[in-house]
C-alpha cells in the first residue's frame, strides 16, 4: 500500500547530470539500500524525496501522495523522516531536546500553550522521546549536551530524532560513515530492529558493504546517476556490471 515509487527522476546541477532517469520502488516494511561510488546521486535522490531538491522531471509518489508538490517542511507530515550525511544536530541543546525537536510536527499549538502552565503536559511530551531513546540505547544521555559527545552518539541521536515522530519511512544517509567496525555492527542491529520491531520502512545510503549486506532486504546500485541493478544482496554482489563498476574488470577474460 504505502510504497515509495520513483519514476524517471532526472536532476541536473547546471550541466552535471546527477540523476539520469532513475526509477525504483521501495516496498513497505523492507530495508532498501542505495550503494554506489561518490557522486553517483544517492544523496541527491534523498534530497529529492525530502523536498530539498526540485527535479527536472519524473515523479515521486508515496502511497497516493505526490511528494514533489510538497515543500520540505511538509514532508514529515506524510510519514517520511530523514537523517543527514553531515551531522545536522543542535549542539547546544541536550540530547533529550534534540530528540524532542524531531517531534515538532506532532506537538500542536494548543498543547504548547498548555505546556507553559502544566507539568503533566511536559512529561507527556518527554515520555515518547524517552521511550525511543531507550529503544536506541541512549537512555543515559538524555540530559547531556550534544556538543562534546562522541560522533557515534551524535549520529544515533540524529536517527532517534528521525524516529520519534513515528514515521512510516525513514531515510538514513550514511549511518556508518566515520564509525569503527563495532559501532557499524551496532548501527546494523539498530536498523534491523527499526524494521522488525517498529515496522518502519528503511531507505539507507551506505558505503560500508558489511553493513549493507548484513541488513538489506534489497540493494540498489547506482553509478553516475543511473541504476545499474536492483536485487537481493547476494544477487547484486555477483552481478557482473557491479563488479566492473566497483572492483574493475579482470584483464584476463
Partner 1 sequence: MKGRYDEENLKWIAPLIILVIVLPFLLRGATFSYRYYLYVLNIAGIYTILTVGLDLLSGYTGLISLGHAGFLAIGAYTSAVLVDQAGVPFGLSLIVSPLITGLFGILVGFPALRISGMYLGLTTMGFGFIVRRLIIALRTWTEGSAGLEVSKPVLFGFTFANDWHNYFLIYLFVIVVVVFARRVMKSKIGRALMAIRDSEHAAQAVGINLVRYKLFAFFLSAVLAGLAGVLFAHTMRFISTDHFDILLSIYFLIMVLVGGVATIYGAVLGTLFIVLLDFLAIPLFKDWLASFMAVQVADIQSLIFGCIMFLFIIFQPMGLYGMWLKMRIYWKLFPFNPKIKQT
Give residues in contact with partner 1 (CB under 8 A): 50-52, 71-77, 81-82, 84, 88-93, 97, 100-105, 107, 112, 115-116, 119, 122-123, 126-127, 130, 143, 145, 147-148, 161-162, 165
* Residue that the C-alpha cell 559527545 belongs to: 149
Distance between CA 220 and CA 231 in Å, rounded? 7
- Cβ of residue 43: shortest distance to partner 1, in angstroms? 12
Exposed, middle or buried by CB within 10 Å (0-12, 13-18, 19+), for 5?
middle
- For 219, residues 6+ apart whose C-beta sits below 8 A from its C-beta are 32, 33, 34, 35, 212, 230, 231, 232, 233, 236
What angle separates helix 181-198 from helix 151-163, to the nearest 10 degrees?
10
CA torsion through residues 235, 239, 243, 245, sign: negative
Question: Shortest approach of partner 1 to residue 81 CB, angstroms?
Answer: 7
- Hey, what's the torsion of the CAs at 76, 5, 57, 232, to 10 degrees? 110
- Shortest CB 146 distance to partner 1, Å: 10
**Residue 135: CB minimum distance to partner 1, A:** 16
Q: How far is the CB of 140 from partner 1 (least distance, A)?
A: 13
In the complex, the smallest distance separating the C-beta of residue 69 from partner 1, rounded to whole angstroms, is 16
In terms of CB distance, is 16 or 77 closer to partner 1? Answer: 77
Which three cell numbers mark 144? 547531556
Burial of 252 (0-12, 13-18, 19+ CB in 10 A): exposed
Q: Which is nearer to partner 1, 83 or 184 (CB)?
A: 83
Q: 23 or 105: whose CB is closer to partner 1?
A: 105
Q: Which is nearer to partner 1, 107 or 185 (CB)?
A: 107
Q: Which is nearer to partner 1, 33 or 43 (CB)?
A: 43
Pick 131 or 235: Cβ nearer partner 1: 131
Assess contact for 82 and 167: CB atoms under 8 A.
no
| Dist. CA 65–CA 38, nearest whole Å | 30
What is the grid cell recorded at 245?
Answer: 563498476
Amino acid at each position: 500500500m504505502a510504497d515509495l515509487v520513483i519514476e524517471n527522476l532526472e536532476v541536473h546541477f547546471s550541466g552535471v547530470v546527477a540523476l539520469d532517469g532513475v526509477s525504483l520502488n521501495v516496498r513497505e516494511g523492507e530495508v532498501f539500500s542505495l550503494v554506489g561510488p561518490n557522486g553517483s546521486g544517492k544523496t541527491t535522490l534523498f534530497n529529492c524525496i525530502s523536498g530539498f531538491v526540485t527535479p527536472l522531471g519524473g515523479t515521486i509518489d508515496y502511497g497516493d501522495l505526490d511528494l514533489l508538490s510538497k515543500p520540505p517542511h511538509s514532508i514529515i507530515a506524510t510519514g517520511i523522516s530523514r537523517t543527514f550525511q553531515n551531522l545536522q544536530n543542535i549542539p547546544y541543546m541536550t540530547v533529550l531536546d534534540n530528540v524532542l525537536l524531531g517531534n515538532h510536527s506532532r506537538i500542536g499549538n494548543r498543547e504548547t500553550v498548555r505546556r507553559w502552565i502544566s507539568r503533566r503536559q511536559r512529561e507527556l511530551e518527554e515520555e515518547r522521546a524517552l521511550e525511543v531513546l531507550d529503544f536506541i540505547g541512549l537512555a543515559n544521555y538524555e540530559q547531556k549536551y550534544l556538543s562534546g559527545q562522541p560522533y557515534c552518539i551524535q549520529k544515533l541521536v540524529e536517527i532517534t530524532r528521525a524516529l520519534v515522530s513515528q514515521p512510516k519511512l525513514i531515510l538514513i544517509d550514511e549511518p556508518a560513515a566515520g564509525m569503527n567496525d563495532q559501532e557499524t555492527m551496532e548501527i546494523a542491529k539498530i536498523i534491523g530492529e527499526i524494521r522488525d520491531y517498529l515496522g518502519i520502512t528503511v531507505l539507507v545510503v551506505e558505503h560500508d558493504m558489511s553493513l549493507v549486506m548484513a541488513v538489506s532486504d534489497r540493494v540498489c546500485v547506482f553509478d553516475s546517476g543511473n541504476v545499474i541493478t536492483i536485487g537481493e544482496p547476494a544477487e547484486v554482489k555477483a552481478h557482473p556490471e557491479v563488479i566492473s563498476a566497483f572492483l574493475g574488470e579482470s584483464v584476463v577474460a
